[in-house]
Amino acid sequence: MKTVFDKPHALTDVPFHYCPGCTHGIVHRLVAEVMDELGIEGKTVGVASVGCSVFSYNYFNCDMVQAAHGRAPAVGTGVKRANPDNIVFTYQGDGDLAAIGTAETIHAATRGENITIIFINNAIYGMTGGQMAPTSLVGQITQTTPYGRKIETQGYPIRVCEMLATLEGPSYLERVSVDDVKNIKNAKKAIKKAFEYQIEGKGFNLIEVLSTCPTNWGLSPVEALEWLRNNLMVHYPLGVFKDKGAENNE
């Protein structure tokens, strides 16, 4: 019998612990498919962060290092500098990357550290039960903004790709989404390009993936996808914010 669909080799057999409708599973699969297609699983080292994706070290078949909250880019730097032939990626959420780990993110980016960051933006802290994230939208109701995020008290959400695009270090910054088939395909293309850029030594790159958190958004999986389209995508437009490869071709 012909196999038409299978688990990527770069994923282990461990069942995901993610909630129904959460898009972490899709993104894990895309990263694993890219590792398979580029044949890099054996030389890749992943860095898991703190948050729902902390257990990603159980799911990816490559070597995995678990990092403290926000520190994945620094840990990834240490891994990459020790063995520059390794392909190094971090997998981080919005609280991890854009709040507690902002300094590590910006400085890895400005150094042009030759690593890839998969940045999951679902505008909320998932694992701790739905608190306001640095990317939570104005007016968004969370456990710690029960009356909605207010500009006067909590300020504005951070647009990470736009912020990093002001730096010269990054080689490639793109915001993608995994809300439908077309966008998932595009997300995979972006992730693959990011890893390819790293292989080519182009330097720091980050793929921001707009994702859902039905559990903490208090929505069904389908409603969550709609909320992503109608809200997250409005504040966080999809697109390429920096591409040194494309600039060079011009």
Q: 115 and 198 in contact (C-beta within 8 Å)?
A: yes
Q: Give the shortest CB-237-to-other proteins separation in angstroms.
A: 29
CA distance 10 to 46: 11
> Can you read off the two tokens belonging to residue 9?
């080799």
Q: Give the shortest CB-127-to-other proteins separation in angstroms.
A: 11
CA distance 51 to 10: 21
CA distance 59 to 56: 5
> Angle of helix 102-110 relative to helix 72-82, nearest 10 degrees?
40
Q: Which is nearer to other proteins, 62 or 132 (CB)?
A: 62
What string marks each residue from 79 to 108 as x (binds other proteins by CB under 8 A) or -? xxxxx-xx----------------xx-xx-
Q: Which is nearer to other proteins, 77 or 114 (CB)?
A: 77
For the chain, how are helix, strand and coil distributed in percent, rounded to 5? 40, 20, 40
Contacts of other proteins in 47-76 (CB under 8 A):
47-48, 54, 57-58, 60-68, 71, 74-76
Q: Of all helices (H) and strands (E), which one includes residue 175?
A: strand 172-177
> Can you read off the two tokens belonging to residue 187?
């997300």
Q: Which is nearer to other proteins, 59 or 172 (CB)?
A: 59
DSSP per position, 34-64: HHHHHT-GGGEEEEE-SSGGGGHHHHBSSEE
What string marks each residue from 24 to 43 as x (binds other proteins by CB under 8 A) or -? -----------------xxx
Binds other proteins (CB under 8 A): choice among 23, 44, 53, 171:
44
Q: Which is nearer to other proteins, 41 or 243 (CB)?
A: 41
Q: Give the shortest CB-36-to-other proteins separation in angstroms.
A: 11
Q: How many residues bind other proteins (CB under 8 A)?
A: 37
Q: Which is nearer to other proteins, 74 or 207 (CB)?
A: 74
77 binds other proteins (CB under 8 A): yes
CA distance 250 to 239: 18
Q: 76 and 44 in contact (C-beta within 8 Å)?
A: no
Q: Give the shortest CB-146-to-other proteins separation in angstroms.
A: 28
What string marks each residue from 6 to 25 as x (binds other proteins by CB under 8 A) or -? ------x-------------
The residue ranges that bind other proteins (CB under 8 A) are 12, 41-45, 47-48, 54, 57-58, 60-68, 71, 74-83, 85-86, 103-104, 106-107
